Structure 1
Amino acid sequence: MRVFVTGTAGFIGYHLARRLLDEGHTVIGFDAVTDYYDVALKRGRLAELARYAGFTSIEGWLEDADLLAASLQGADAEVVVHLAAQAGVRFSIEQPQSYVGANLVGTGNLLEAARASKPAHLLFASSSSVYGGNIKVPFSELDAAHTPISLYAATKKGGEAMAHAYAHLFDMPTTCLRFFTVYGPWGRPDMALFKFVAAILEGRPIDIYGGGEMRRDFTYIDDLIEAVMRIIPKGPVVGERVEGDSLSPVAPYRCVNLAGGHPEPLMDFVAAIEAALGRKADSRFLPLQAGDPRETAADVGLLRRIVGDLPHTPIDTGIARFVAWYRQYHSL
């Protein structure tokens, strides 16, 4: 199978590409290698992928419609997985234009390119943040998602809407994957786990928002990739519904939560980090930040009905693996 993956220098894109390559598939990666966070980390991921003969890397911006279209056409890919995006809830308050460019203009360019190349299945990385101000938990794909509380969330919801239009107009089987707090080795430095580990090892305090009363549906990276791999061959078909399906009535399109389905108190997450490091954190408790929900929790019933039971890595195991990787990566 030939798979075109945007965002292969990113956290999830790297892990998906590596899994595909390990299984003997061909991966054509597309990434701008932006400086939103440490470029050396992104280059390190690409260097790992470059060890595989089946990997081709193309460096470019999603906003470059001509390059993106030519790259996708030349890839001759059966599957497209669109993971590249400007990430981060808080940064979207500071640099909104980068989100409009990458997540709206860039996704529009990707959809137009896919219209011409006609993949058998297009998968689009969305986010649990689209549930925004919803107060009913766990979040279900059948819930309305009309109350984004950050521009990042709004651009992801906008991407879902554009993808539905293309699925309907051009009969393009499309699955939107709503990721919930993904963590693990090679993770992003702007996320809590990376920040907390770095701060504790350096003897700095960690900032815990929401008074420590937040809950997150933490999803270990290997569990997430297993789910994506199982979804790849299961493109939506109009009329072929399962129980509780989000399948569109007018397009081969659905949204699916990708999560562990086991929300954890933030302070349990911190305790697992302390245990893995063998050190106590100097915790500084702060108010909830703008754009952050107090709780995320996924209803994963639809996911399981589509792909079956999935592995669930406990947070103490997942965090221990991250810490081991972090020490090795930084030669600690």
Structure 2
Amino acid sequence: MTVLVTGAAGFIGSAVSLRLLARGDTVIGIDNHNDYYDPALKEARLARQLGHPNYTHLRIDLADRSGMAELFRTHQPRRVVNLAAQAGVRYAMENPLAYIDSNLVGFAHILEGCRHNGVEHLVYASSSSVYGANTALPFSVHDNVDHPLSLYAATKKANELMAHSYSHLYGLPTTGLRFFTVYGPWDRPDMALQKFAWAIVKGEVVKLFNHGKHRRDFTYIDDIVEGVIRVLDRPAPPNPDWSGEQPDAGTSRAPWRVYNIGNNRPVDLMAYVGALEKALGRTAEKAFLPLQPGDVPDTWANVDDLVEQFDYQPATPVEQGVANFARWFSDFHRLA
């Protein structure tokens, strides 16, 4: 089938595109190729799929209303995976309007395109950051998430609400996936693993916030892609047992669902750094700093719904995933 993948030159979008192409789908990939980080990395990711006969790439911004409408009219995708967004919790404090343009205005254009062109299923990236001030672990999609701690998190929560309105009003099946700390080869340079790796190889200080006491549900890229594909293939159903008197935050009478997608095995930040030190064969000099604004101390995904409904079983231990990243990092940057 024809699948539209937004953010197709990004970390997750490129990996999803390659997986769809490998199984025989036609992929229409779009990306605005902005300079939030070095665009050369996007170009390098994109080179892996550009030569495929079933891949078409368009350089377009989600906030371009007429361009997005024309895209849907021309290519008529059956299903859509929306992975384009302005990312980064801390950057939202510096440039909040970038998040409004991409994550809210852009997402509205995705919803309109799906509505007017008979799209069978929209799968979109949400984030573990929506849990915000919640402290009950593991985080569950059935819990209320009305206290975001960053604008990035607020836009992701807003996406879930916007999607619900389209599912309710127009019968559009939509599924939101709350990603938990995705890592692996080809990840972004603003993410912790690349920052740590560069500091280690340059002999610089690795900054560990919350005094190194973070725990994260680190999820390897291949496990994320597996979950995305499984969910994409089964359009979100309504929940006939949903009750307005005791509303379930993860389902609806409309064809709308939200799932956590994580490893379900929280790892101490110090163990994560230790795995990277081992993989790179070097010891990091560490600085222990306070918790940053917008950050949460711990994340842990309850993925019971994804396991029960999709037989989702993340299979990559952190030690293996970090070792895979380290090999890619050394090769890509010619550090060997």
TM-score (norm 1): 0.97
Aligned ranges 1:1-332 → 2 under 5 Å: 1-239=1-239, 248-332=251-335
Deviations along 1:267-292, whole A, 9 cap, x unmatched?
A: 00000000001110000111000000
Per-residue deviation, 1:47: 1.2
- Which secondary structure state, in structure 2, belongs to the residue aligned with residue 29 of structure 1? strand
- Which secondary structure state, in structure 2, belongs to the residue aligned with residue 248 of structure 1? coil
- Which secondary structure state, in structure 1, belongs to the residue aligned with residue 185 of structure 2? coil
5+ unaligned residues in a row in structure 1: which ranges?
A: none
Per-residue deviation, 1:89: 0.0
Per-residue deviation, 1:247: 5.2
- Which secondary structure state, in structure 2, belongs to the residue aligned with residue 30 of structure 1? strand
Deviations along 1:89-115, whole A, 9 cap, x unmatched?
A: 000001001001110111111111111
- Which secondary structure state, in structure 2, belongs to the residue aligned with residue 187 of structure 1? coil
Determine the C-alpha separation between the residues in 2 that align with 1:245 and 1:256. 13
Deviations along 1:148-207, whole A, 9 cap, x unmatched?
A: 000000011111111110111110000001000000000010000011011101111111
Determine the C-alpha separation between the residues in 2 that align with 1:92 and 1:301. 31
Contact 2:240 2:253 (8 Å CA) reproduced: no
Where does structure 1 differ by over 2 angstroms across 4 or more consecutive aligned residues?
239-242, 244-250
Deviations along 1:200-237, whole A, 9 cap, x unmatched?
A: 01111111000000100000000110111111111122
Per-residue deviation, 1:250: 2.9
Determine the C-alpha separation between the residues in 2 that align with 1:312 and 1:16. 17
Determine the C-alpha separation between the residues in 2 that align with 1:40 and 1:174. 33
Deviates more, 1:110-119 or 1:166-175: 110-119
Contact 1:119 1:172 (8 Å CA) reproduced: yes
What is the identity, as a one-letter code, of the residue corresponding to 1:92?
A: A
Per-residue deviation, 1:328: 1.0
- Which secondary structure state, in structure 2, belongs to the residue aligned with residue 292 of structure 1? coil
Deviations along 1:25-54, whole A, 9 cap, x unmatched?
A: 110011101100010000111111102111
Determine the C-alpha separation between the residues in 2 that align with 1:296 and 1:253. 24
Deviates more, 1:267-276 or 1:65-74: 65-74
Determine the C-alpha separation between the residues in 1 that align with 2:85 and 2:156. 9
Deviations along 1:106-146, whole A, 9 cap, x unmatched?
A: 11111111111121110010000000000101000000000
Per-residue deviation, 1:246: 5.4
5+ unaligned residues in a row in structure 2: which ranges?
A: none
Per-residue deviation, 1:23: 1.1
Determine the C-alpha separation between the residues in 2 that align with 1:240 and 1:55. 38
Contact 2:238 2:251 (8 Å CA) reproduced: yes
Deviations along 1:44-103, whole A, 9 cap, x unmatched?
A: 111111021111001011110110111122222111011100000000001001001110
Q: Quick one: percent identity of the two aligned structures? A: 47
Contact 1:99 1:155 (8 Å CA) reproduced: yes
What is the identity, as a one-letter code, of the residue corresponding to 1:271?
A: G
What is the identity, as a one-letter code, of the residue corresponding to 1:102?
A: S
Work out the number of aligned pairs and report it: 331
